[in-house]
């Protein structure tokens, strides 16, 4: 078993503003929303400078990245002993989220698997 750190961008505090401004308006007003859009939901535009918009939201004990993905998507994360939540707003592991294993190598969840990226957990929001 390996311990994986899960990093996500928390859009909860600006959710109403995103709805009010629309995608482009919110991306102009909120850098974390631009990072969210470019890292996952609309493209492959992640750049290392976006690391500051990610937060360490959970740890997951799993066999490998695929098992981590399964646990974070298909089990009750709050009740599963393999998951240690650091936030109340953890969502399922999705395209654009980052996982870092014990080897320290960061991977972004992609549409067809995991893509190795340049990401410094030390730069992520705490």
- Tell me the C-alpha to C-alpha distance, in Å, between residue 110 and each of 14, 52, 66, 82, 113: 24, 20, 12, 23, 5
- Domain residue spans in the chain? 2-123
Strand, coil or helix: 101: coil
Q: What is the pLDDT of residue 125?
A: 72
Strand, coil or helix: 28: helix
φ, ψ at 96 (rounded to 5°): 100, -15
Q: In whole numbers, what is the pLDDT of the chain averaged over residues? A: 90
Check whether 41 has a pLDDT greater than 70: no
Q: Point out which residues pair with 19 in neighbouring strands.
A: none
Task: Tell me how far apart the alpha carbons of residues 2 and 5 are, in angstroms, rounded to a whole number.
Answer: 10
Q: Flag the least confident range among 6-10, 34-38, 65-69, 77-81.
A: 77-81
Q: What is the pLDDT of residue 1?
A: 94
User: How many whole angstroms from its chain centre is CA 9?
Assistant: 6
């Amino acid at each position: 078993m390996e311990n994986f750190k899960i990093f996500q961008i928390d859009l909860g505090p600006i959710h109403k503003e995103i709805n009010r401004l629309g995608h482009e308006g919110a991306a102009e007003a909120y850098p974390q929303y631009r990072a969210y859009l470019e890292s996952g939901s609309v493209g492959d535009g992640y750049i290392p400078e976006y690391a500051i918009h990610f937060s360490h939201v959970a740890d997951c004990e799993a066999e490998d990245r695929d098992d981590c993905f399964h646990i974070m998507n298909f089990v009750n994360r709050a009740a599963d002993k393999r998951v240690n939540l650091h936030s109340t707003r953890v969502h399922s592991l999705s395209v654009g989220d980052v996982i870092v294993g014990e080897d320290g190598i960061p991977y972004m969840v992609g549409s067809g698997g995991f893509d190795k990226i340049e990401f410094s957990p030390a730069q992520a929001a705490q």
